[in-house]
Amino acid sequence: MSVLEVQQLSYQSGAEQILTRVTFSVSKGEYLAISGPSGGGKSTLLKLIASLLTPTGGKILFNGKDQKAYPVTGYRRRVSYCFQQPTLFGETVRNNTEFPFTIRNEVFSEDKVRDLLRLVDLPVSFLDKPIIELSGGERQRVALIRNLIFLPEVLLLDEVTVGLDEESKRIVQQLVKNVHQQGVTILQVSHDEEDLQQAGGVLKMEGGRLAHGAIGR
Ligand SMILES: Nc1ncnc2c1ncn2[C@@H]1O[C@H](COP(=O)(O)OP(=O)(O)O)[C@@H](O)[C@H]1O
Ligand SMILES: [Mg+2]
């Protein structure tokens, strides 16, 4: 069963045609990478799937139903987008990890967050660390675990390993693998050879179009 069906998806901004009739589907539990030159439309595609942008043509089906039929907040919890340059807010790591509980009216589970911190190799003492003291790799890891406190059905990752040191990159890759093993469907934009190897297939995007026959390896 397809968890996502992208049908003839187009996106235009002003006079600029950014995506042109992109069609593909993603099976439940699949791990797909998206690669291709800068400016090819990869981030735009993920943002459309995340419902952060509205298509100007075509449609996206999620679990067989038009994306537009879902209430947007609920949809974004089920299809979660992790930004290329993550923004952390508040003052501490705790503030950021409390947020997913707050918006769901749930009690903060420090145990759950401690487990996730351990999983990305950050000390538990980081909970009360000011975010201004975090390195780039540490920020990216905090942003990721913030997305994973409540597992989405589909995780959209946009160049999350770019600019990370080898150690942070390895940890993030391990985390993504772990999340995939828990049954989460993953779409990951990346140029990193190891990320592409880890995925079960690679889509190539260029000039706002999907390169023909690019699925699989
Ligand atoms: N909101 C926008 N308005 C106009 N042009 C945009 C907008 N967003 C992206 N673009 C343009 O669309 C093209 C694809 O961008 P993007 O999806 O970010 O590509 P990629 O992630 O593959 O580098 C680029 O030429 C970019 O400049
Ligand atoms: Mg991009």
Q: What is the pLDDT of residues 101-124, one digit of tens each?
A: 999 999 999 999 999 999 899 999
Contact between 215 and 187 under an 8 Å Cβ cutoff? The reply is no
Which token pair is 165? 């040191």
Q: What confidence tier does 2 reach under pLDDT thresholds 50, 70, 90?
A: very high
**125 pLDDT above the threshold of 50:** yes
**Cα 116 to middle of ligand 1, angstroms:** 33
Model pLDDT for residues 25-65, shown as the tens digit of each residue: 999 999 999 999 999 999 999 999 999 999 999 999 999 99
pLDDT at position 128: 95
Q: Which residues pair with 11 in a beta bridge?
A: 19
Q: Could you give the strand order of the β-sheet that contains 57-62, starting from the edge strand earlier in sequence? A: 16-27, 2-13, 57-62, 65-66
Count CB neighbours of 16 within 10 A.
8
**213 pLDDT above the threshold of 90:** no
List the single range of 89-93, 138-142, 145-149, 161-165 with lowest mean pLDDT.
Answer: 161-165
Ligand 1, atom 12: closest residue by C-alpha: 18
Q: What confidence tier does 165 reach under pLDDT thresholds 50, 70, 90?
A: confident
Model pLDDT for residues 11-29, shown as the tens digit of each residue: 999 999 999 999 999 999 9
pLDDT at position 84: 74
pLDDT at position 86: 79
**Cα 212 to middle of ligand 1, angstroms:** 21
**Cα 41 to middle of ligand 1, angstroms:** 6
Average pLDDT value over all residues in the chain:
93
pTM of the entire predicted model:
0.92
CA dihedral 159, 168, 184, 123 (to 10 degrees): -140
Which of 16, 35, 84 for mutating ligand 1's site (highest number of atoms within 8 Å of CB)? 16
SS3 123: coil
**Cα 38 to middle of ligand 2, angstroms:** 7
Which amino acids bring their CB within 6 angstroms of ligand 1? 13, 16, 18, 38-44
Please identify which residue in the block is written with the tokens 């439940």: 28
CA atoms within 13 A on the CB side of 185: 19
**217 pLDDT above the threshold of 70:** no
**Cα 107 to middle of ligand 2, angstroms:** 35
pLDDT at position 1: 82
- Type and span of the H or E element at 201: strand 201-206
Ligand 1, atom 16: closest residue by C-alpha: 41
Ligand 1, atom 9: closest residue by C-alpha: 44
pLDDT at position 212: 64
Ligand 1, atom 2: closest residue by C-alpha: 13
